[in-house]
Structure 1
Amino acid sequence: MSANTWTIEKARDALRKGEISAVDLTMSCLTAMDAGEALGAFVHKTPEIALEQARAADARLKQGDAPSLCGIPLGIKDLFCTKGVGSQAASGILKGFKPEYESTVTSKLFADGAVMLGKLNMDEFAMGSSNESSVYGPAVNPWKIDERKLTPGGSSGGSAAAVAGDLCIAATGTDTGGSIRQPAAFTGIVGIKPTYGRVSRWGIIAYASSLDQAGPMTKTVGDAAIFLQSMAGHDPKDSTSADIAVPDFEAALTGDIRGKVIGIPKEYRLDGLNEEVSALWDKGIEMLRAAGAEIREISLPHSKYALPAYYVIAPAEASSNLARYDGVRYGHRAKLGPGDGITEMYEKTRAEGFGPEVQRRIMLGTYVLSAGFYDAYYNRARKVRALIKRDFELAFEAGVDAILAPTTPSAAFGLGEQGSADPVEMYLNDVFTVTLNLAGLPGVQVPVALNRDGLPMGLQLIGRPWDEAGLLNHAYVLEQAAGFVAKPQKWW
């Protein structure tokens, strides 16, 4: 069993005992990364940086008392600015952009001795559910059941493919409407979206600032706890970062949820819900009941408005955030003809630099913010968002400790199969995930079983604000009960 297949926990223990060096562990992952080209997961490889960081980690490990992530090789989503390394958000408009600064998250990871193997593929500016809007081309799911190439989900598709395909030990992701949890479900791994404000957004290229939140994508719940520990914490550079103490997430994994109340939202039993998804949900309910939890049906009456509200708010914020990409200061600039002025430069640069999905969302966002439609769309969506948040608050006030729901409405689908004729078809992938982003709540996806075709399917647990510790413990219990250990057969 080569070292690139290890979990963070196993690698940490082996490194601390001196059974493997950080350099050898990193080489194992670099070899897997190069052999995994067909997955399209890594888009900017940084082997020199990785080996330099690994050597420094080895020196630190020899001294003893090294942090848990010391010497652990990670993949970093292309949305995180990394000093001197291409950071494009998978967009043509940021071609050649190499930041002069380091995002807070990557700074924290590197301070703990983590190793960066490279930057990971994603949907352009994190807008998508299948990783098909990337300027680099799609990432591919390591799971394969026929001749088709399957999506690893999006927007953190490269992160999901890299972790599931054992190209790295773990990876960073970001979640604006499900972009950590949905790809984690499609690839059979764990992904946690923390409470909004738990992890700094500074140095992460913005999509929708009131919804974006970074989190870990890992092979196990235990790994997610270790990784989140390093990522989380207050950052004065981010005005939305919460000055709240970070508990010991790993120590919270007691495996005991006796007497805890698990809410089951009746509104998530959608008409026409895939029968395998429904059966999996029922199975998850029984697992938590068997572990001693009380199961209680709850109502989240405004859930049905979440998707339309999200697809008004997120594009509105995107149209504002993406206005800065204009060809003036950095990134791509269109070639101008004689007589072209600054307006033509903006128009041509943005038309060339942004892909169709990003253009669609910018136009949609600009429309809902325009004078005649602001109240009809954007203000109304903000009011709906407040109602959705209140639904969750009432459930938690009534004693619910966590909520169990499906993560996705289906297993992974083939690349090119959805959204080409009707983009709304693709947006429906977010039906179970967007509510958490609108309410700012933490959520974790746990792989539970394979469907009849042999593809992974997962369930998500939704927690109280700032209770990632309790949430991860519930996820740990579900993970232990499900016993999901399936891995994709290596075809790449």
Structure 2
Amino acid sequence: MSVEPLDRSVDRRAFLARAAALAVASAAGATVAAPPIAMASNALLASPGAGNRNRALDQPNAYTKPRPEAAADPAELTIAEAAWLIRANKLTAEQLVEAYLARISAYDGIYQAFNLVLADAALAAARDAVRGPRHGALHGIPVVIKDNYYTEGVPTTANSFLFKDFVPPYDATAVARLRASGAVILGKTQMGPLATTRATTPAGVITTVNAWTPTNRNTDPGGSSTGTATAVAGRMATSGIGTQTGGSITAPSNAQNLTGLKPTMGRVSAAGIIPLTYTRDHPGPLARDAKDAAIMLTAMAGEDPADPRSQGLPDVPNLIDAATAVYQRNRVKLRWNTRIGVLPGFTNGTSATALARQAYLAHLATIPGVTLVDVPLPDEWSQLTGSTFNNVRLTERSEPFMPYLRTDLRGFGVSVTSWLQGALLGGNEFLTGQRAKLLLMERVLNDLFDACDVVVQTDPVPFDILGLPEIAFPIGFTAAKVPIGTILGGLPYAEDRLLSVVAAYQATTDWHLQRPADPPAAPTARSQAPAEAPRLTAEQVAELTQ
């Protein structure tokens, strides 16, 4: 049995104090460093240094012998499976990249998952990976990047008029860490304009479709990390990264049969990401299963001098071990005994979603180590999680963009209404909302988690507000073969426990292994270019994102 999960050693009151400090930081121009989080010293750690991170990625549990059907099709391989083949010299990074580029060429004209495909650069990086030293499980693995992450010398548009011609001079920290871990960047993916909706043009025309229903543009593919989800679900990338401020990792993951992990606030640096809301922006992976999500997060996570939110946190535990199923007498069991809290009404009704949730809980109950417990909602839950207080995030969104809101609203395209809402909210409303958030956090940490270790969720928003971790994963399908997913939320820095629960569930089910049928082949077509509109200079972008 491994060491205890990290949530056993984190001081909840310290996390609450840290949240209060971040609220102050957001009002002070993000210059205030948050206080450190107290922790025990017996956790198995992976320090943030590049060498240590690569060692954490080069461990036995990071490699999985491929399923026969996956070995026959490189685009079907998970990260862990592809890494096993690459390490065994049975597959090269160049072959893997070529397989994905072929699918992109054949199908992205339908999916429209990419803003930009970096074919030549990806092939060059793959050839370098063949010749260069091995870095671990991400060595030579093709991944995609949401188009709000800075990529050196490559356009980063946030799918907006404002950033139409912006070319960053450096990589976002998360991107730099993926590259340092040996990952190959296939391209930049479509997203909701300025990370506000499902992927459309800045003028609001739908672009990216759900990979499970590519000919029905009305099926929600999830947003705003839509393109990353569609690229991974459509087998045009092994994995990818997105950002979440209000469900933008968990929603597209649930919509497209993926495993998406939104880490605790600060666990992954947001430096070099075009911002949306300072106290709620979370970078994280969208992957095919828990093991791949753990590999991606291991590469991305850690302290960053460029982001105060990432400093003073407990070190990253061994997420890859946590995401590895544990067996006792050939039967899967939980790595750690875990009380799973079930909220009122979670399984109510007779819809496909309700039936899938009922079956999901019934299956969880058969796994040794799981205890299902009914948990009540904290006092004033509806009020504290409703739009009255939730909308104060719009103030944080609008404040850094005020010079552009004052000059020409056309630059914000279809999302302009929410930016104007934030500009019109008063300082008193913002402060009241921050106080309400701290009250909600106190009740969640002290009341909700008093009876459970993780909790089922029907909506990502409360945990987005609080900066707590959550993981989305598939639990079934509708009669029309549209994926049904669910979300588990955890205590601060409980990514390891969340991964352990999902790993056990996925080791005993096959929902996450099912893939959508290929769409009709079509000429590759990039998403529509925006019309002429106000543009930011590199200096103006630096002012917004510093």
- SS of 1:152's equivalent? coil
Q: 2:283 aligns with which of 209, 214, 225?
A: 214
Please give the residue correspondences for 1:239-388 in structure 2 after superposition, counting only pairs within 5 Å: 239-243=308-312, 244-252=314-322, 253-255=324-326, 256-257=333-334, 259-266=337-344, 275-292=351-368, 293-301=370-378, 302-305=380-383, 306-309=385-388, 311-323=390-402, 325=404, 347-348=407-408, 351-357=409-415, 359-369=416-426, 374-375=427-428, 377-388=429-440
User: Is 2:137 the partner of 1:68?
Assistant: yes
Q: 8 Å contact 2:398–2:423 — kept in the other structure?
A: yes
Give the aligned partner of residue 21 of structure 2. none
Give the aligned partner of residue 21 of structure 1. 92
State which drifts further: 178-187 or 292-301. 292-301
Q: 8 Å contact 2:344–2:376 — kept in the other structure?
A: yes
**Pairwise CA distance, 1:313:** 2.3
- SS of 1:284's equivalent? helix
Aligned mates of 2:115, 2:510 — CA distance in 1 = 33
Q: 8 Å contact 2:294–2:499 — kept in the other structure?
A: yes
Distance change >3 Å, CA 453–CA 397, structure 1 → 2: closer
CA deviations 1:290-327 (Å, max 9, x no partner) are 1131111112334423141564122111101333657x
Q: 2:128 aligns with which of 56, 61, 64?
A: 56
- SS of 1:54's equivalent? helix
CA deviations 1:88-133 (Å, max 9, x no partner) are 10101111110111100000000011101110000011112x3236
TM-score (norm 1): 0.84
Distance change >3 Å, CA 310–CA 380, structure 1 → 2: closer
Distance change >3 Å, CA 131–CA 146, structure 1 → 2: closer
**Pairwise CA distance, 1:397:** 5.0
- The code of the aligned residue for 2:452 comes to V
Please give the residue correspondences for 1:2-21 in structure 2 after superposition, counting only pairs within 5 Å: 2-21=73-92
**Pairwise CA distance, 1:250:** 0.9
CA deviations 1:150-178 (Å, max 9, x no partner) are 23110000011000000010010111011
- SS of 2:341's equivalent? strand
**Pairwise CA distance, 1:5:** 2.0
- The code of the aligned residue for 1:174 comes to T
Q: CA RMSD in A?
A: 2.1
Aligned mates of 1:148, 1:265 — CA distance in 2 = 33
Give the aligned partner of residue 486 of structure 1. 514
Q: 8 Å contact 1:75–1:172 — kept in the other structure?
A: yes
- The code of the aligned residue for 1:476 comes to A
Please give the residue correspondences for 1:68-467 in structure 2 after superposition, counting only pairs within 5 Å: 68-128=137-197, 130-132=198-200, 134=202, 137-144=206-213, 148-243=217-312, 244-252=314-322, 253-255=324-326, 256-257=333-334, 259-266=337-344, 275-292=351-368, 293-301=370-378, 302-305=380-383, 306-309=385-388, 311-323=390-402, 325=404, 347-348=407-408, 351-357=409-415, 359-369=416-426, 374-375=427-428, 377-395=429-447, 397-406=449-458, 432-467=459-494
Q: 8 Å contact 1:190–1:446 — kept in the other structure?
A: yes
Unpaired segments ≥5 residues, structure 1: 327-345, 407-431
- SS of 1:210's equivalent? coil
- SS of 2:308's equivalent? coil
Q: 8 Å contact 1:208–1:321 — kept in the other structure?
A: no
TM-score (norm 2): 0.76
Please give the residue correspondences for 1:29-48 in structure 2 after superposition, counting only pairs within 5 Å: 29-35=100-106, 36-48=108-120
- SS of 2:319's equivalent? coil
Distance change >3 Å, CA 477–CA 134, structure 1 → 2: farther
CA deviations 1:415-453 (Å, max 9, x no partner) are xxxxxxxxxxxxxxxxx1111111111000011101122
Fraction of identical pairs, as percent: 28
Distance change >3 Å, CA 147–CA 235, structure 1 → 2: closer
- SS of 1:354's equivalent? helix
**Pairwise CA distance, 1:52:** 1.9
Aligned mates of 2:216, 2:411 — CA distance in 1 = 33
Unpaired segments ≥5 residues, structure 2: 1-71, 327-332, 521-546
- The code of the aligned residue for 1:178 comes to G
